[in-house]
Amino acid sequence: MRFLFVSLAASGLLPAQAQMEFFEKRVRPVLASRCYACHSAKTLASGGLRLDTREAARRGGNRGPAVVASHADLSLLLRAVRYTDPAVRMPPSGKLPDHEIADLETWIRMGAPDPREEAVVAPATQSEEAMLSEGRKWWAFQPYRAHPLPRIRNRLWASNFIDHFLLEGLEKKQLSPAPRAGKLTLIRRLSFGLTGLPPSTEQIDRFLADTSAQAYEKLVDRLLASPHYGERWARHWLDLARFAETDGHEFDREKPNAWAYRDYVIRAINADLPFDQFIREQIAGDIIEPQRRLAGGVRWESITGTAFFALGEERNAADDLSEVRAEKLDNQVDTLTKTFLGLTVSCARCHNHKFDPISTRDYYALAGVLDGKQVIQACLDTPERVSESARIQEEIAARNRRLAAIYTGRRGQLIEKLPAYLRLASGWAVRETDPSDAEIKKAAEAEKLEPALLKAWIGDLRIASREPDHLFYPLARLARPGEQTFPERLTAMRAELAEWNIKADPGHPIHKERNDMVVADFARTGFAGWRLDGPAFAGAASAFVSPQQVISGHRGLPLANSFLAAANEGMGFLTSKTFLADRRFMHVRLAGNSDSTSGRQPGLLRVSLVGDGRDAIFTPDGSGRLQWRTSGLGKMLNELAFIEIADRTRSGHITVDRIVLSDSREPPMAGRFVNARLLRMIEQTEAASLDSLITGYAALLAGAAADAQPDADSRWLQESLLPAVALEQAPLELSAAEKAEAETLARERAEFTARLPEPVFALASVEDQPRNLRVHIGGSHLNLGEEVPRGFLKILSTGPDDGFRQGSGRRELAESIVSPRNPLTARVIVNRVWKHHFGEGLVRTPDNFGRTGQTPTHPELLDTLAAWFVDNGWSLKKLHRLMLLSSAYRMSNIGDRRAALADPDNRLLHRIPVRRLEGEAIRDAILAVSGSLDGTLFGPSVMPHVSEYQDGRGKPVSGPLDGNGRRSIYIGVRRNFLPPLFVAFDYPMTVTSIGKRGASTVPSQALMLMNNEFVVKEAAKWADRAQAAAPEPRARIRDMFRSAFGRAAEPAEIDKSIGFLAAQRKRRGEAKDAEFRAWADLAHALFNSKEFIFIR
């Protein structure tokens, strides 16, 4: 029965009334019960779609028409309910029963008859304004201001305004703050709080001895001045920046120079860089004015902050690069907004934020700003350093020019012997296998030739036979014996060359098919459009080749050559802007030293097409011959990418001539093939044999060498003379005077080279092509909506039109964030600092000030602190001082009994909570106590110790067990190989901002402190040190308790320890080291006591 009805309906044979009946009976109930909850005027019109009137359903929402009458396949409604498209499945709670889907299909096929007449009201564009005005009511979006001091009874207790606000809260409930903590508790609390290290016994003694009223204040100032303060607070910041030095994901690729960001943060914090400037530099440090220099002036500093964006996870080997790009941007939006604004803007990626006044348009306006940058290695050398480097480079270059003149003057010698070399070499080159060195030596000696040069010629002719635009292509091809006679083959060659010559014309149809996109032609355009970092490429493309350098196939035209600046010592990068890689192949003509780095790691010498989640890599083979390398784009096709030419080693170079993207797998020839003189020679050779051709070559090259003012063709011929052998290495006979001069020049050159300053690089983000993004509907990069102009979150914008127009807009973004009118920035950082000193923030969700976060326990205090902070020049050190000098900070951890019962969560802050140290601080404390701590600041990371329990791809070579005694912040952060000690103690995920670490209890914490080799060895080192310092056992025990816990040992503890030592000694019996081992056991036990890792 049902079937009959359906088939009749589908056939369109039902009369109009029956059609309406069908709608009423079968369609309207489905729409009403399954769809209206989200898609009707009364509800959200989710995705801009309403299904409650005929017109609205046909007009559709953001994705387009939902119902196309008579066209089931074009109707999004049907696609959604069929669940075939993963991007749109409706209703989200589960697929409809098949019969309901069939009914909807039938209805659409019959023309979607629909009596629902109500006119469509324009979709709620008003709602954004409504959302904003509603949103402004939330406390965090209202401006902050300093509040007047509240009246309190116990005015004696208050040291500064913080205490007034706190005490007001307590007194309202008739509660009292905890008593003041003792001096020993305070110095330990302060020392770990500010420097992450335990106080030394000397520091404790000094503090105890200072009975002046200022003793505490002096201690605070001394600790704030310690360089270890910067290390401690930099680590807190790194939690927010999801800092890591590798990419994570599959291969855990290295991020070169990521540690420079860590050092930057330490320096900024130690120097008390105003926090607003600290923000500006991390968001736009590459473009703000003025650029800040490191104290002492040797390098730029501001740009280093921009690594902030580059520290996230990078997917590798991805299949959908646009998706990766969108995910990366999302992570940057997420980290940026959580870190600086305490907002979870990333929630608005797929739909308007459900709780906070942030729209999807806001999200893409902001994401667009961040999209307009690229991640590179920036050179930090200041102009003085650059010109110093350039001056030395010029000294080197002058000597190179003179040397080149001496050697080229002697070219005649080479030409004299040329026929002999070519004859022998062409014979070898056509064979299957290369001759042995012994064979070459024997053959060379017989003809009085240089074996090294002969070998080079053989190699060159081998390559020539594969490259039609090679000078020796005709020779190499004709040297192959064939069935035809030599004159016949020569005729064929002439025809082939003519053909190539025709194809070389850029107007030839073949080029249309090839569809070449020239990305780099350094001879024609120099470095225009490329970003240059470091001295290696000497600032300009040049045709000059140092007599030291091996580079054949060079045609005397300018190229990008990292040898120019300072021989192999130069380091540097050339970076293109991002472009759409819409050709199937990429061709790079390059030469240089070979690079054995794994393709998974950033190479030393390579050209890379850098995409999101994949690179195409081109490396020289070390032969010294410019050659085309080709790679298919694969998954990178039609994706955004940029090109990086990198020389990151002090012992090698790379030379790049041209870079072309093309739809052809063959390297390009256009415009470059023809050497008129060569063609003429081939045309005119009356060659009956290979010999006469070789003679022709010799004459051709001799003619070119004799040119006083060589033209382009002539230079090409001259450069071709020395295949893969540097001029200085070619066996030329110089006169005695020339020889002496050459030696002097070479010596001087070496001296200058040694004086070249090593360039400094840092991971950085810099301006790229600014781009607006389109809304990704439902968060899917496959479903693009309207374009959104770059700008800031509407709720935080101050003007009527807040679009960003300067470049990417990052500078404007930074200014919007640090604006004192921004209600969040100052509140958020003040709260973060508070959290670290007082255990919990005034807002206990420090990364989320939105509606899903907690409201402040002391809103007026928070606002007053924020206002005070801005008034005091955003100085973090002043803020610390203010908090630390409050009476509140100096409270004991044991609260007043009544307060403890009335305020169990300590929301009124009636006491200071006990806190467990982080894994890094535990390790640092162990090192400090054992005497192994190396207090050196800064520098490349120490490789982490990797145990056999850590495994997976990208496993690094393990570093030393004790990290060379360096503080934990200098242990390399490899995403996939985080140190287990840190991870067990709640190290933050290196994925997003973490303003509040967990404090979990897991058995591996205990297992590690009980059994880990590092802990056991440090205990032994400590025992050793303690033994030397105090021979008398009781005195030694007292010393050890003081180092470990910062307090005197109680008599009972000393007795227990003595007893323990005796028993352990006895258990070891006659063992020679029983005494020492017992002490090591005691040290180990102290490491394991809870007092070692819990601070009150």
Partner 1 sequence: MPNQFLSRRDMLFRAANGFGGLALASLLAEDAARAAAATDPMRVRAPHFTPKAKSVIFLFMDGGPSHVDMFDPKPRLGAEDGNVLPIQEETAARNPEKKLWGSPFAFKKHGQCGADVSELLPHLATCVDEMSIVRSMISDHTEHTAGNYFMHSGSGIQGRPSMGAWVTYGLGSECKNLPGFIVIDTGMIPPGGVDVFSSGFLPASYQGMLFRKGKQPVADVASREASPEMQRAKLDLVRELDRGTLKRYGPVTEIEAAISNYELAFRMQTEVPDLLDFSKESEATRKLYGIDEQDTDEFGRACLVARRMVERGVRFIELLSPRRQGVDRWDQHGNLVRGLTINCKATDKPMAALIKDLKSHGLLDQTLLVWGGEFGRTPTSQGAKDRGFGRDHHPYGFTMWLAGGGIKKGLVYGATDEFGYHAVENKVHVHDLHATILHQLGIDHKRLTYPFGGREMRLTDVHGNIVRDILA
Span 1008-1027, contacts to partner 1 by CB under 8 A: 1008, 1010-1013, 1016
With H, G, I as helix, E, B as strand and everything else as coil, classify residue 559: strand
Beta carbon of residue 320, minimum distance to partner 1 (angstroms, whole number) = 5
Can you tell me the distance from the alpha carbon of 571 to that of 646, in angstroms, rounded to the nearest whole number? 8
Nearer to partner 1, 763 or 1093 (CB): 1093
Residue where the block lists tokens 């680590």: 235
Q: Is 154 in the site for partner 1 (CB under 8 A)?
A: no
Nearer to partner 1, 491 or 1094 (CB): 1094
Can you tell me the distance from the alpha carbon of 467 to that of 473, in angstroms, rounded to the nearest whole number? 6
Q: Is 1003 in the site for partner 1 (CB under 8 A)?
A: yes
With H, G, I as helix, E, B as strand and everything else as coil, classify residue 574: strand
Nearer to partner 1, 232 or 1084 (CB): 1084
Nearer to partner 1, 92 or 799 (CB): 92
Nearer to partner 1, 680 or 1056 (CB): 1056
Beta carbon of residue 723, minimum distance to partner 1 (angstroms, whole number) = 36
Long-range contacts of 132-140 (CB under 8 A, 24+ apart): 132/357, 132/794, 132/795, 134/357, 135/356, 135/357, 135/795, 136/357, 136/795, 138/356, 138/357, 138/850, 138/851, 139/855, 139/856, 139/859, 140/342, 140/823, 140/824, 140/827, 140/849, 140/850
Which residues inside 816-855 make contact with partner 1, applying CB under 8 A? 847-848, 850, 852-853
DSSP letter (8 states) at residue 356: S
Burial class (CB in 10 A: 0-12, 13-18, 19+), 137: exposed
> Looking at 448, 512, 897, 1072, which residue binds partner 1 (CB under 8 A)?
897
> Looking at 13, 208, 688, 1063, which residue binds partner 1 (CB under 8 A)?
1063
Beta carbon of residue 732, minimum distance to partner 1 (angstroms, whole number) = 50
Beta carbon of residue 978, minimum distance to partner 1 (angstroms, whole number) = 9
Nearer to partner 1, 668 or 963 (CB): 963
Burial class (CB in 10 A: 0-12, 13-18, 19+), 1068: middle
Distances (CA, A) of 954 to 243, 574, 740, 976: 18, 27, 52, 8
Using the rule CB under 8 A, give the single segment among 161-169, 198-206, 764-772, 986-994 that binds partner 1: 986-994
Q: Is 961 in the site for partner 1 (CB under 8 A)?
A: no
Beta carbon of residue 897, minimum distance to partner 1 (angstroms, whole number) = 7
Start-to-end CA distance of the chain, whole Å, equals 79
Beta carbon of residue 354, minimum distance to partner 1 (angstroms, whole number) = 8
Using the rule CB under 8 A, give the single segment among 362-370, 596-604, 650-658, 1087-1095 that binds partner 1: 1087-1095
Q: Is 999 in the site for partner 1 (CB under 8 A)?
A: yes
Q: Is 728 in the site for partner 1 (CB under 8 A)?
A: no
Residue of 187, 193, 195, 196 whose CA lies nearest to 218:
187
Using the rule CB under 8 A, give the single segment among 129-137, 225-233, 242-250, 704-712 that binds partner 1: 242-250
Distances (CA, A) of 987 to 406, 901, 920, 921, 1006: 63, 32, 9, 11, 16
Q: Which residues of 649-665 are buried (b: 16+ CB within 10 A; e: fewer)?
A: bbebbbbbbbbbbbebe
Beta carbon of residue 1085, minimum distance to partner 1 (angstroms, whole number) = 5
User: Which residues on adjacent β-strands are paired with residue 586?
Assistant: 631, 661
Give the interface size with partner 1 as a residue count (CB under 8 A): 98
Residue where the block lists tokens 């073949």: 510
Using the rule CB under 8 A, give the single segment among 194-202, 458-466, 874-882, 994-1002 that binds partner 1: 994-1002
Beta carbon of residue 729, minimum distance to partner 1 (angstroms, whole number) = 43
- One character per residue 654-683, x = contact with partner 1 (rule: CB under 8 A): ------------------------------
Q: Is 44 in the site for partner 1 (CB under 8 A)?
A: no
Beta carbon of residue 184, minimum distance to partner 1 (angstroms, whole number) = 11
Beta carbon of residue 867, minimum distance to partner 1 (angstroms, whole number) = 26
Beta carbon of residue 782, minimum distance to partner 1 (angstroms, whole number) = 8
Q: Is 313 in the site for partner 1 (CB under 8 A)?
A: yes
Which residues inside 67-106 make contact with partner 1, applying CB under 8 A? 83, 86, 92, 94-95
The answer to whether the CB of 322 falls within 8 A of the CB of 256 is no
Burial class (CB in 10 A: 0-12, 13-18, 19+), 900: middle
Nearer to partner 1, 94 or 383 (CB): 94
Q: Which residues of 85-97 are buried (b: 16+ CB within 10 A; e: fewer)?
A: eeebebeeeeebe
CB contact set of 564 (below 8 Å; sequence gap of 6+): 393, 397, 536, 537, 538, 542, 544, 546, 570
Which residues inside 898-917 make contact with partner 1, applying CB under 8 A? 900-901, 904-905, 914, 916
- One character per residue 270-309, x = contact with partner 1 (rule: CB under 8 A): ----------------------------------------
Nearer to partner 1, 25 or 95 (CB): 95
Nearer to partner 1, 486 or 1060 (CB): 1060
Would you tell me the crossing angle of helices 712-719 and 676-684 to the nearest 10 degrees? 80
Q: Is 947 in the site for partner 1 (CB under 8 A)?
A: yes
Which residues inside 340-359 make contact with partner 1, applying CB under 8 A? 343-344, 346-347, 354-356
Q: Is 783 in the site for partner 1 (CB under 8 A)?
A: no
Beta carbon of residue 1000, minimum distance to partner 1 (angstroms, whole number) = 4
User: Which residues on adjacent β-strands are paired with residue 377?
Assistant: 763
Burial class (CB in 10 A: 0-12, 13-18, 19+), 1075: middle
Sign of the C-alpha dihedral, residues 465, 467, 473, 477? positive
Q: Is 638 in the site for partner 1 (CB under 8 A)?
A: no
> Looking at 272, 768, 812, 986, which residue binds partner 1 (CB under 8 A)?
986
Nearer to partner 1, 242 or 267 (CB): 242
Sign of the C-alpha dihedral, residues 975, 981, 982, 983? positive
Beta carbon of residue 312, minimum distance to partner 1 (angstroms, whole number) = 10
Q: Is 894 in the site for partner 1 (CB under 8 A)?
A: yes
Distances (CA, A) of 889 to 148, 193, 960: 21, 11, 39
Distances (CA, A) of 581 to 483, 636, 716, 849: 45, 7, 32, 41
Q: Is 1057 in the site for partner 1 (CB under 8 A)?
A: yes
Long-range contacts of 3-7 (CB under 8 A, 24+ apart): 6/102, 6/103, 6/106
Residue of 122, 127, 29, 49 whose CA lies nearest to 90:
49
Which residues inside 913-942 make contact with partner 1, applying CB under 8 A? 914, 916
With H, G, I as helix, E, B as strand and everything else as coil, classify residue 684: helix
Nearer to partner 1, 624 or 954 (CB): 954
Distances (CA, A) of 334 to 41, 331, 340, 793, 823: 32, 5, 10, 13, 19
Q: Is 1002 in the site for partner 1 (CB under 8 A)?
A: yes
Nearer to partner 1, 393 or 1057 (CB): 1057
With H, G, I as helix, E, B as strand and everything else as coil, classify residue 803: strand
Nearer to partner 1, 755 or 851 (CB): 851
Nearer to partner 1, 327 or 469 (CB): 327
Nearer to partner 1, 550 or 1086 (CB): 1086
> Looking at 13, 1007, 1035, 1048, which residue binds partner 1 (CB under 8 A)?
1007
